[in-house]
Amino acid sequence: MTVLGACRYQDGKRTRDIALDDDVPEQMDRSEFAWIDLCDPTVEELSTLQDRYGLHPLMVQASLDADQPPKLDVYGDQLFVVARTARLDDDRILYGAVAVFVSHHHIIIVRHNAASRGADLRVQLETAPKLLAQGVDYVLHAVLNEVVDDYLPIFEMVEDDVLEMERRSLDTFLGRAEVVRIFHLRCELTRFQRTLGPMGEVIRKLVRGHYPCISAEALPYFDDVKDHVMRVQTMVDGLLQVLVGLRIEQPVRTTTNGCDHTATRGLGSHSCRPHRLGRHLRHELSPYAGTGVAIRLLRRGGHHGLTLQSALAPVQARRVALRPATRLNSR
C-alpha cells in the first residue's frame, strides 16, 4: 500500500497529518474533516479505517474490487462512489478504479491500478483554501474531475491515427495490418463507451439528486464534470462512425504454377472463371454483412453484371454498405 496523503483540515487549511489508526474526535467543527488517500490498500488496513470511521462493510468489500464498475450508493449518512480510470498504453486502454467514502467529516479515497495523481491534487487544492473550506463535497468533485480529465487524451491520441487512416482510405484501400488495427480500435473504443455511460450516469445522479454531504453550492461543480463526460461520449461515438466507414481490402488466394500466393485485391475481383464469380463474391462479402462497412465494388457489364446483382442480393439484405468504384473495362 502507498499512503498518498492522510491529513486533517479545518477552514480549508491543513492542521496536521494523521495515521490510519488515529482516534477520530467525537466532536468536530463543521468545517473540519479528514482526507485520506490510499493506493492498493490491504484488507487489514481497510478494516482499521472501517473501525475508526464507521464505514459500512459492503462499502469496504466493494472498494477492494479493482474491476468494480462505476456506482453511487448511500449507506445511512455516508456516500460511496466508484469511478473508473482509464489511460492509453500503445493501442490498449488500461482501466483502474477509484472508490470514495464520503461523510460530513471524512473523505477516504482508495485507488486501484490507477495512474495516481493524488499527491498533485492535494497540493492543487491546498493552494485554494477558500474552495477547500467548502468541505468534502468539493474534494469529491475534484477527484471525479481528475478521473474524467484523463479521458480526453485517450480520445485525442486515437483520433489522430484514425483520421490519418481515413485520409489514406480516400485514395486507396487500407491494407491488412491497418484493417486489423481498425477492428482492434473499434473493440477498445466500444469498451470505452461502456465505461463512459455508467460514469455519466453517476455524475448525473449527483447533479440531480439530494445526497448526504453534497451541498447545493457544490452542484454546479458536478454539472461541469457531467458536461465533460457527455462531450467525450459524443466524440467517441463520432470516431466509431469513422472507423465503421473506412474502406478495407480483402486478401485472396491465387494459384500460379501449382504454388499458392497471397494477393490483396478489392472485394469482387476474385481470380476465378466467370461462371463462379457470383458464388465467390457472396463468400467474400458474407463476413461483412451487418457490420456497416462500406465496400468498394468493381462495376461489370453484360452477363457479369447480372451475376453481380444476383450475388449481392442476399448480402445487401443484411445491410452491407456498397460503394461503387471507377468503371473498369469488362472482360
The CATH-assigned architecture of domain 2-245 is: 2-Layer Sandwich (3.30)
Contacts of 225 (CB under 8 A, 6+ apart): 141, 144, 145, 148, 203
Q: How confident is the model at residue 79 (pLDDT cuts 50, 70, 90)?
A: very high
Range scoring the smallest mean pLDDT among 125-129, 174-178, 194-198, 288-292: 288-292
Q: How confident is the model at residue 74 (pLDDT cuts 50, 70, 90)?
A: very high
Which pLDDT score, from 0 to 100, does residue 105 have? 92
Which pLDDT score, from 0 to 100, does residue 270 have? 41
Which pLDDT score, from 0 to 100, does residue 261 have? 47
CA dist list (Å): 330 to 153, 221, 268, 298: 49, 65, 13, 10
Alpha-carbon distance of 32 to 316, in angstroms, equals 66
- Residue type, position 226, single letter: K
Which pLDDT score, from 0 to 100, does residue 264 have? 42
Which pLDDT score, from 0 to 100, does residue 156 have? 86
Average pLDDT over residues 281-304: 50
Q: How confident is the model at residue 268 (pLDDT cuts 50, 70, 90)?
A: very low
Helices (H), 43-170: 43-53, 57-63, 118-126, 129-132, 136-149, 151-169
* Residue range(s) in the chain whose domain bears CATH number 3.30.460.20: 2-245
Which pLDDT score, from 0 to 100, does residue 69 have? 93
**Average pLDDT score over the chain:** 78
Q: Which range among 180-189, 191-200, 271-280 has the greatest average pLDDT?
A: 191-200
Each as own residue / partner, the long-range contacts of residues 289-292 (CB below 8 Å, 24 or more positions apart, any chain) are 289/315, 289/318, 289/319, 289/320, 290/318, 290/319, 290/320, 291/244, 291/320, 292/244, 292/245, 292/319, 292/320, 292/321
Given a cut of 50, whether residue 299 has pLDDT beyond it is no
Given a cut of 70, whether residue 235 has pLDDT beyond it is yes
159 alpha-carbon distance from chain centroid:
14
Picking from 175, 149, 178, the residue whose alpha carbon sits closest to that of residue 162 is 178
Which pLDDT score, from 0 to 100, does residue 118 have? 67
| pTM of the full structure | 0.71
Given a cut of 80, whether residue 34 has pLDDT beyond it is yes
Contacts of 91 (CB under 8 A, 6+ apart): 181, 184, 185, 188
Given a cut of 50, whether residue 27 has pLDDT beyond it is yes
The alpha carbon torsion through 134, 139, 141, 147 (nearest 10 deg) reads 160
C-alpha cell at 254: 491465387
Q: Which residue has the cell 496523503?
A: 5
Given a cut of 70, whether residue 253 has pLDDT beyond it is no
Given a cut of 90, whether residue 226 has pLDDT beyond it is yes
Given a cut of 80, whether residue 157 has pLDDT beyond it is yes
